[in-house]
Amino acid sequence: MRSVVRTGRRVGGAGAGRPAGHGRARGVLAAVALAGCGALLAGCSPEGGPAGPAGASPPRGAPSGSASASASAPSAAPAKGSVEVTGEIARDLESPWGVAPLPDGDLLVASRDKGTISRVSAASGKAVVIGKVPGVAPGGEGGLLGLALSPSFASDRMVYAYFTTESDNRIARMRYDEKREPGQQLGAPDTVLRGIPKGVVHNGGRIAFGPDRMLYAGTGETGETGLAQDRKSLGGKILRMTPDGQPVHGNPEPDSVVYSHGHRNVQGLAWDQDKRLWAAEFGQNTWDELNLIEPGANYGWPQAEGKAGLAGMRDPVAVWRTDEASPSGIAVARGSVWMAGLKGERLWRIPLAGDRPAAEPEAFLQGRYGRLRSVVALGGDRLLLVTSETDRRGSPEAGDDRILTLTVR
């Protein structure tokens, strides 16, 4: 694998309402990180090592009714971790976004701007287009976004996709038939949910099946901040639905797929070993967030950004300055949440002790691979990491975009 170390790279906005082209070199990155090492941050590392902690004051008390509440303290992940880049599965990908590992180890990868899904061989790295998703209308931050496999994929062969059309964002499922010719292997889309608001920015897009075998989706408020608090809108929400797109028994409102509200732009969803749902969210100009999601909870946007302590609204568990994060995909491995940073160009580790951080977040791979879009847990200590330099906000170099394999501790 060629060692890729990026210096003097210009970085743009991250899809959070911040302008593209806001350039800075690695030296500036280091200065930004070290500038925060006052009352809010401590123990920053020198350039080239894991970055120091990010975030404001320690998190407020755990949400009431948390699944981890018990008389005994939960086991905690170690305060310090490590990341080793062990390989490169694929390169020269165009605007990769969603990734879904297949049972045999190959990957399905969505191209946001081309509207295609490719199968990437884990052995050779070769990418072959299996089909184009009809109706995708790429533009701004919209296009073909998240992918997920049906919990019954072995029998139904259904691939779920979240994508932007001319009129909305929606979720559809398509049957994947490997016996057909490449490029023609996706069946006609069956729309599961339509009517998610679309915009030039803040389209959300991450989908995932939870431990309950229900489908979850993170949406954005499209720049219309009022949608996040509008319980009748699907924008600025986390949604929970059956695989057929119907409201789930146990949702806050029995006739609604809305699971939580008050979000700005959710692009990361993952569950820990105790089946708690975590979500990464873009802030505006000050704080990006990692939230612990509870059904029916209000996460504050637009009244709150970061840890505001407002009555009736949930504060995030951890926060970052927007230049350090602009969080996209997340995954849970080895007792920690691993969070990809777009504008921050780094991978964050948040060690957990039950429903709160066990220690301050650590940053890895800072500036080495550019913007980071998706993180996928492969089990044990293995992760996939997808870069995002060809999304019109990066500075692509030879080989971009890539899918890397990581070993983490």
Sorting pLDDT into bands at 50, 70 and 90, what band is 8?
A: very low
Q: Among residues of the chain, what percentage have pLDDT more than 90?
A: 82
Residue-wise pLDDT for 352-401, tens only, equals 999 999 999 999 999 999 999 999 999 999 999 999 999 999 999 999 99
Instruction: pLDDT band for 2, please (50, 70, 90 cuts).
Output: very low
pLDDT number for residue 47: 30
Residues 108-164 pLDDT 10s: 999 999 999 999 999 999 999 999 999 999 999 999 999 999 999 999 999 999 999
Query: How high is the pLDDT of residue 23?
Result: 36
Q: What is the pLDDT of residue 282?
A: 97
The full 3-state SS of the chain, as one line of letters, equals: CCCCCCCCCCCCCCCCCCCCCCCCCHHHHHHHHHHCCCCCCCCCCCCCCCECCCCCCCCCCCCCCCCCCCCCCCCECCCCCCEEEEEEEECCCCCEEEEEECCCCCEEEEECCCCEEEEECCCCCCEEEEEECCCCCCECCECEEEEEECCCHHHHCEEEEEEECCCCEEEEEEEECCCCCCCCCECCCEEEEEEECCCCCCCCCCEEECCCCCEEEECECCCCHHHHHCCCCCCCEEEEECCCCCECCCCCCCCCCEEEECCCEEEEEEECCCCCEEEEECCCCCEEEEEEECCCCECCCCCCCCCCCCCCCCCCCEEEECCCCCEEEEEEECCEEEEEECCCCCEEEEEEECCEECCCCEEECCCCCCCEEEEEEEECCEEEEEECCCCCCCCCCCCCCCEEEEEEC
Residue 72: the pLDDT is 65
Separation between Cα atoms, residue 383 and residue 79, nearest integer Å:
19
Express each pLDDT in 218-272 by its tens digit: 999 999 999 999 999 999 999 999 999 999 999 999 999 999 999 999 999 999 9
Lowest mean pLDDT among 70-79, 98-107, 254-263, 357-366: 70-79
Contact 218, 279 (CB under 8 A): yes
Largest pairwise CA distance in the chain: 60
Q: How do residues 181-207 score in pLDDT, each as one tens digit?
A: 999 999 999 999 999 999 999 999 999
Model confidence, pTM? 0.85
